[in-house]
Amino acid sequence: MRWLARVALVAALALVSPVVAVAAGRGRSASPSAASAPQEREPWSPAASSERSAPTLGPDARRVTLGRFVTTFAYDAEHRGRAFNVELAAQAVDGRVIRAGGTLSFNEAVGERTASFGFARSVVLRDGMLAEGAGGGACQVASTLHAAALLAGLDVVSRAPHSRPSAYIRMGFDATVALGPAPIDLRLKNPTAAPVVVHARAHRGALDVWLEGRGPAPEVRLTSEIVGRVGYPRTIARDPLVPEDVVKIRSFGIPGYRVRRVRELRLPDGTTRRDVREDVYPPVPEVVVVAPSLDAARLGRRGAPSQATEPDEPAGPELRTEVEPTAVRPVVVQLRPSTLVTLPSDPAPRR
């Protein structure tokens, strides 16, 4: 059964402890040199949307890397739980075969992200807010797989962006997944006439996902561009224990973004295609705590510590800013107009 395959990895990292942390890093379309050799393990039970048997490409077919993407994650003691989940989810999708015309479901391949299925507790996004729960890190595997699939020329049947920017991948390339009453899935379709094999490897902070199939690989160019920005609102909480001249930051605000992602494809037969998609990342309110008697006008249009542009001048003496120990800081968003990720049309096959 599927859970048996997870027992070996769970036992190997039995000292995993619950953590509250968010991994950081940037995605890239090159493989790190520190990738580890695959470990022997019991195969996962095939899901309805994919198999794990060796694909048949044809007598004269040449297997090549169709698309590849790498993201990074923290794997120190503080982030051990999340790093463990990244490794576990990567193991679940590794070796999946998407038959010609077939579809891969991330949720079916990985299954439940709960403690009973071996996942550790870490930070997860729930209803747009950070919370502690089991399975944090699975979305990074889904996002990296999504980006690799875009570069490989696969069709994206179902995918949803996160509710806020992710630290490990650029906006427009990410993919959130969830189970429960309102599941969110990443579903990828293989439009080619030959099987495509998914490979995933997480080792020492690098998550490497690549897709292999019959060559030659398509020529792909991805562009992700921020085309709109919305300021974040502010919520004011009042506490009699806060001094009159102090503003405490309980939660940093995150601006909202509208992002346009463009994929330009040139298939081996010369056919070209241009896919355009726009994603919306809603703003996250800034939460400040002040004294009950403090006039809100003294905060200006934004609180003293916010990152908003052109704030109003505060009325009255300058306020002192303090950040609460549990305040969650926003990820650093790349504000360059666009970024291009280009994969060579004929990448060398992985040995």
For 80, the token pair is: 């051990």
Q: Is residue 201 within a helix (H) or strand (E), and if so which, with residue range? A: strand 196-203
Rounded CA gap, 195 and 188, in Å?
A: 13
Rounded CA gap, 161 and 308, in Å?
A: 24
User: Based on the domain organization, do 315 and 193 belong to the same domain?
Assistant: no
User: Based on the domain organization, do 49 and 16 belong to the same domain?
Assistant: yes
Rounded CA gap, 306 and 27, in Å?
A: 27
User: Based on the domain organization, do 168 and 299 belong to the same domain?
Assistant: no
In a domain, 350, yes or no: no
- Residuewise pLDDT in 10s, the chain (351 residues): 444 445 444 444 333 332 222 233 334 554 333 333 333 333 323 333 456 655 665 555 678 999 999 999 988 887 888 899 999 999 999 999 999 999 999 999 999 887 766 687 655 544 444 545 556 789 999 999 999 999 999 999 999 999 888 888 999 999 999 988 999 999 999 999 999 999 999 999 999 999 999 989 999 999 999 999 999 999 999 999 999 999 999 988 889 999 999 999 999 999 999 999 999 999 989 999 999 999 988 887 553 334 444 445 555 678 999 999 888 776 655 444 444 444 443 444 444
Task: Evaluate whether 140 touches 88 at the Cβ level (below 8 Å).
Answer: no
| Whole-number pLDDT of residue 51 | 60
| Whole-number pLDDT of residue 309 | 43
User: Based on the domain organization, do 139 and 241 belong to the same domain?
Assistant: no
Strand order in the sheet with 219-230: 272-281, 256-266, 219-230, 338-343
Rounded CA gap, 267 and 217, in Å?
A: 8
Task: Evaluate whether 46 touches 93 at the Cβ level (below 8 Å).
Answer: no
C-alpha angle with apex 37: 35 to 43, nearest 5 degrees? 120
User: Based on the domain organization, do 107 and 134 belong to the same domain?
Assistant: yes
User: Based on the domain organization, do 162 and 238 belong to the same domain?
Assistant: no
Rounded CA gap, 52 and 58, in Å?
A: 18
Closest C-alpha among 327, 29, 342, 20 to residue 169: 29
User: Based on the domain organization, do 165 and 239 belong to the same domain?
Assistant: no
Strand order in the sheet with 103-105: 103-105, 187-189, 155-158
Residue where a domain terminates, one of 183, 216, 249: 216
Residue where a domain terminates, one of 165, 181, 216: 216
User: Based on the domain organization, do 169 and 232 belong to the same domain?
Assistant: no
Task: Evaluate whether 95 touches 177 at the Cβ level (below 8 Å).
Answer: no
Give the predicted TM-score (pTM) of the model: 0.74
| Whole-number pLDDT of residue 310 | 46
| Whole-number pLDDT of residue 21 | 26
In a domain, 349, yes or no: no
User: Based on the domain organization, do 313 and 282 belong to the same domain?
Assistant: yes
Domain range holding 226?
Answer: 218-344
Q: Is residue 151 within a helix (H) or strand (E), and if so which, with residue range? A: helix 138-152
Q: Is 348 helix (H, G, I), strand (E, B) or coil?
A: coil
In a domain, 107, yes or no: yes
Residue where a domain terminates, one of 216, 245, 265: 216
Rounded CA gap, 290 and 295, in Å?
A: 9
Strand order in the sheet with 63-72: 63-72, 206-214, 196-203, 97-98
| Whole-number pLDDT of residue 254 | 86
In order, the DSSP letters of 85-112 are: HHHHHHHHHTT-EE-TT-EEEHHHHH--
Angle between helices 80-93 and 138-152 in degrees, nearest 10 = 40
Structural domain total, the chain = 2
User: Based on the domain organization, do 101 and 186 belong to the same domain?
Assistant: yes
| Whole-number pLDDT of residue 313 | 54
In a domain, 351, yes or no: no
In a domain, 203, yes or no: yes
User: Based on the domain organization, do 209 and 110 belong to the same domain?
Assistant: yes
In a domain, 324, yes or no: yes
In a domain, 340, yes or no: yes
In a domain, 71, yes or no: yes
User: Based on the domain organization, do 6 and 145 belong to the same domain?
Assistant: yes
Q: Is 58 helix (H, G, I), strand (E, B) or coil?
A: coil
